[in-house]
Structure 1
Amino acid sequence: MKDKLVTRGYCLILAANFLLYFAFYLILPVLPFYLTEVFHTGSAAIGIILSCYTVAALCIRPFSGYLLDSLARKPLYLLAYFVFIAVLAGYIWAGILSIFIMLRVVHGLAFGMVTVAGNTIVIDVTPSSRRGEAVGYYGLMNNTAMSIGPMTGLFMQEVYSFNTIFGCAFLSGTLGFVAACMVQTPPRAKVKREPISLDRFILLKGIPAGITLMLLSIPYGMTTTYIAMYAQNIGITLSSGLFFTFMAVGMAISRIFSGRQVDKGRITQVITFGLYLVCSCFLLLSACGTLFPMAPFATETLFFTIALFLGIGFGTMFPAFNTLFVNLAPSNQRGTATSTYLTSWEFGIGIGLVAGGYLAQVTSFDSAYLAGACLTIVSAFYFILKVAPHYHKNKLR
């Protein structure tokens, strides 16, 4: 008989995760408009100011993993969650730009901690035999929030004030915090306190997998940031926001089967399948504007089909990679494993933000996505030749 997955604690952590990310994505697309209209900030400065959030989140990741493995996890999770929603309220009263920047940095630190903590706690409250499935549905909450949060934020921006949007994000975060408070976490077994070393901040055995993940996230970062501009360049007339909707649908579809395959021990096979799919998608994306120059309908069909299969590819790999990192770590280093997984992913996204803009400026978006496709091919070969054998040799469960 299968271990029970759907429990009260699991449903509450799913709700807390969805409401957290909904608050995050609700304000994400309106912040550039907020900075322009309220603080009269230039476009170059907007990118620097908003990137403070990502830099702060990356800086706190390794330390959050260490703290979660050394101290009680739920209090740290709740503290970070509380700071996250407090900053949402702070945006309402940020009267000068310097205060907004400070709040943005604090927000990034809180987000970096709360996401690592949430990913670690969901593993604590679910049976190990269904971990891949549990992580898959947990990640689906992020994707669902990504598919509806930005559209809701942009709709509200046309009708309501910025303070109203921040207030709604605060309300969503508050409801999520209430759900998080109600999660019952199992007592942690006492473990011998290890001396501080590099392995307490970064899962050293996870570095090869982290390299694969970083190479994958570089073109992903290009896509999330520049796909609207690329769509305009190749003559896509439909809203480019649909690209993210199709990606989210693809991720939702992938969760139906990927988590179960991971729980059957097919982690490396699932990741390999996702890598092949993502490689093909980025190669097609780089050529999307030139394959059907006289058939705009065919170009649009291909463009959004690519989005759907990109979502399936990445959605297939996310729970598998998360489980891979956790399986390489002892139970008292789950936080470090999760932190290394998320740090690798977001570091690559940061590179994609910078490299994608530079390549598009000196060459073209087609060339930028072709470079991204080449990175995914390198990532696939590296995973098959190095990471998969390393994982099977060093996995602990």
Structure 2
Amino acid sequence: MRVIRTDRKTLWTTPFCLTMLGMLFLFIPFSLYMPVLPAYLLEELNSSLQAAGAVNAAFLIAAVLFRVHTPRLEARFGVRRVLLASGIVFTATNAIYLGLDSVAGILLNRFVSGAAFAIVNTSTMALGSRLVPRSRIGEGLAYLTTMVLAGGAVGPYIGLKLSSVYGYPSVFIFSTLTTLLGLLIICLVPDREEMAKTPARISVRDLFEVKAVPVSLIILVLAFSYGGVMTFVVVYASELHLPLVIEYFFVVMATASVLSRLATGRLYDRLGADAAICVSIVILAGGLMILGGIHITAWMLLAAAMIGVGYGSAVPSMQALAIQISPEHRSSAVTATFFTCVDGGIGLGAYVLGGGIQAFGYAAVYLALGVMSFGCLLSYYLLSTANRRSQNGPLPPRSPEPGRE
């Protein structure tokens, strides 16, 4: 692979734009299946609510287990080979759904799909972060993750529309072709940094970046709440007989996320992590409490917008903070650590909250998630205080200039 190494502050390069476009097409199938597969199991295979939640949990548990191995795989086989292999497997699993008609088969395929997606996603995100100048890390990561949210807007909407008009096989065909297109685009991107050598023996430090763990644990809690929204909100709206919520909830949520992220990166770089992260937590928690407390179409769509803004701002802000406080050559390990917690939180939310909903109902669960998310403010305050003490000052409002770390 051709290696490019520069210290320029240019953000909008051709490789960076290709990475953004490739991520968009990879994340459309990812977000598409989150609400569609649970509905598929409930409607077509007559599964239980617990099994419907498990279909997303299987995907995300696999992502947790395999994502952390991405840096080692890249060091051993090279970034290009890892991207190709994991991308091909992820594409194949989308096509395999066409031949499956049992809950067990879908869960197994979902697990394999999660493993492959975790690797190709981690590798792509790390590749994109290496294309961003360190002085613009907040802005650059916000634009990269905006593509994730754009996929989150398009994916569920297209999936629900295709399944209702043409049936579920059309969803699987669309996802296969979209994934293949995203993989082809990403393969056009040259890497700009050699991977650090990985020792022969595996240790926890090789798989995770210790400095990124505290902030990653906070995003795990927020992702737990988000997983409950992604997996069950369509079923929730169906029980409330709110067709407009079913059709437009994810569009509103993801559109609000995209718009907010256009400002989140600049807010982070100019005012610092504290301002960006605390505001995002408050907005997310408020949206969850509205979702559980007010069952009117307009208010539920407002909740969708607030959840989109809150979670959509929290992810890039906390990822930027994790990268900022970690060694630059550990970008893949930082990404793996961070998104392991993201996937783990969403997976736990998808599975655990299914039982909670059966026991207490949708409204009570979403209200509890709002309260729990508010509690993350205290966790972040403790983390921020510890960082100030270690640095003898507040977290810097801007990322370090290249060559000054």
The question of a shared fold, defined as TM-score above 0.5 by the shorter chain, is answered with yes
Q: Does 1:170 align with 2:176?
A: yes
Equivalent residue for 1:179?
185
Equivalents in 1 of 2:77, 2:267: separation in Å? 33
Question: Is the Cα–Cα contact under 8 Å of residues 212 and 337 in structure 2 kept in the other structure?
Answer: yes
SS in 2 for 1:239: helix
Give, in angstroms, the shift of residue 91 of structure 1.
3.0
Question: Is the Cα–Cα contact under 8 Å of residues 59 and 347 in structure 2 kept in the other structure?
Answer: no
Equivalents in 2 of 1:368, 1:390: separation in Å? 33
Equivalents in 1 of 2:283, 2:49: separation in Å? 35
Per-residue CA deviation, residues 272-291 of structure 1 (Å, 9 max, x unaligned), is 111222233333333224xx
Equivalent residue for 1:314?
311
Question: Is the Cα–Cα contact under 8 Å of residues 163 and 171 in structure 2 kept in the other structure?
Answer: yes
Instruction: Give TM-score, length-normalised by structure 2.
Output: 0.84
Equivalent residue for 1:81?
87
Per-residue CA deviation, residues 36-69 of structure 1 (Å, 9 max, x unaligned), is 7876766654544553222211111222244346
Question: Is the Cα–Cα contact under 8 Å of residues 208 and 334 in structure 2 kept in the other structure?
Answer: yes
Equivalents in 1 of 2:339, 2:120: separation in Å? 12
Instruction: Return the match for 2:324 from 324, 327, 334.
Output: 327
CA distance change for structure 1 residues 69 and 286 in 2, over 3 Å: closer, same or farther? Answer: farther
Question: Is the Cα–Cα contact under 8 Å of residues 328 and 391 in structure 1 kept in the other structure?
Answer: no
CA distance change for structure 1 residues 45 and 376 in 2, over 3 Å: closer, same or farther? Answer: closer
Equivalents in 2 of 1:109, 1:336: separation in Å? 16
Give, in angstroms, the shift of residue 149 of structure 1.
1.7
Q: Does 1:114 align with 2:123?
A: no
CA distance change for structure 1 residues 210 and 42 in 2, over 3 Å: closer, same or farther? Answer: closer
Give the aligned residue type for 1:183. V
Question: Is the Cα–Cα contact under 8 Å of residues 66 and 335 in structure 1 kept in the other structure?
Answer: no
Give, in angstroms, the shift of residue 84 of structure 1.
1.0
Give the aligned residue type for 1:166. F
Equivalents in 1 of 2:249, 2:99: separation in Å? 34
SS in 1 for 2:244: coil
Instruction: Give TM-score, length-normalised by structure 1.
Output: 0.86
Once structures 1 and 2 are overlaid, which stretch shifts more, 160-169 or 94-103?
94-103
Equivalents in 1 of 2:32, 2:361: separation in Å? 31
Equivalents in 2 of 1:357, 1:53: separation in Å? 16
Give, in angstroms, the shift of residue 338 of structure 1.
0.8
SS in 2 for 1:126: coil
SS in 1 for 2:68: helix
Give, in angstroms, the shift of residue 145 of structure 1.
1.5
Equivalent residue for 2:25?
19
Question: Is the Cα–Cα contact under 8 Å of residues 221 and 348 in structure 1 kept in the other structure?
Answer: yes
Alignment of 1:21-36 (within 5 A): 21-32=27-38
Question: Is the Cα–Cα contact under 8 Å of residues 77 and 117 in structure 1 kept in the other structure?
Answer: yes
Equivalents in 2 of 1:101, 1:226: separation in Å? 17
Equivalents in 2 of 1:234, 1:38: separation in Å? 21
Equivalent residue for 1:353?
350
Equivalents in 2 of 1:333, 1:164: separation in Å? 40
Q: Does 1:341 align with 2:338?
A: yes
CA distance change for structure 1 residues 244 and 95 in 2, over 3 Å: closer, same or farther? Answer: closer
Give 5+ residue unaligned stretches, structure 1. 290-298
Query: What count of residue pairs does the alignment treat as equivalent?
Result: 388
Give, in angstroms, the shift of residue 166 of structure 1.
2.4
Cα RMSD after superposing both structures: 3.0
Equivalents in 2 of 1:342, 1:87: separation in Å? 21
Question: Is the Cα–Cα contact under 8 Å of residues 69 and 332 in structure 1 kept in the other structure?
Answer: no
Give, in angstroms, the shift of residue 100 of structure 1.
4.6
Instruction: Return the match for 2:284 from 259, 278, 293.
Output: 278
CA distance change for structure 1 residues 165 and 321 in 2, over 3 Å: closer, same or farther? Answer: same
Give 5+ residue unaligned stretches, structure 2. 1-7
Per-residue CA deviation, residues 176-200 of structure 1 (Å, 9 max, x unaligned), is 1211111011142766859643221
Give the aligned residue type for 1:318. V
Once structures 1 and 2 are overlaid, which stretch shifts more, 54-63 or 8-17?
54-63
Equivalent residue for 2:249?
243
CA distance change for structure 1 residues 184 and 277 in 2, over 3 Å: closer, same or farther? Answer: same
CA distance change for structure 1 residues 236 and 165 in 2, over 3 Å: closer, same or farther? Answer: closer
Equivalents in 2 of 1:36, 1:358: separation in Å? 15
Give the aligned residue type for 1:63. H
Equivalents in 2 of 1:343, 1:201: separation in Å? 11
The percent of aligned pairs where both chains have the same amino acid is 24
Equivalent residue for 1:129?
135
Instruction: Return the match for 2:208 from 202, 211, 224.
Output: 202
SS in 1 for 2:245: coil
Instruction: Return the match for 2:159 from 150, 153, 161.
Output: 153
Equivalents in 1 of 2:336, 2:271: separation in Å? 22
Equivalents in 2 of 1:63, 1:283: separation in Å? 37
Give, in angstroms, the shift of residue 117 of structure 1.
0.9
Per-residue CA deviation, residues 218-273 of structure 1 (Å, 9 max, x unaligned), is 22122222223444566645333322221112111111211122233612221111
Give, in angstroms, the shift of residue 116 of structure 1.
0.9
SS in 2 for 1:10: helix
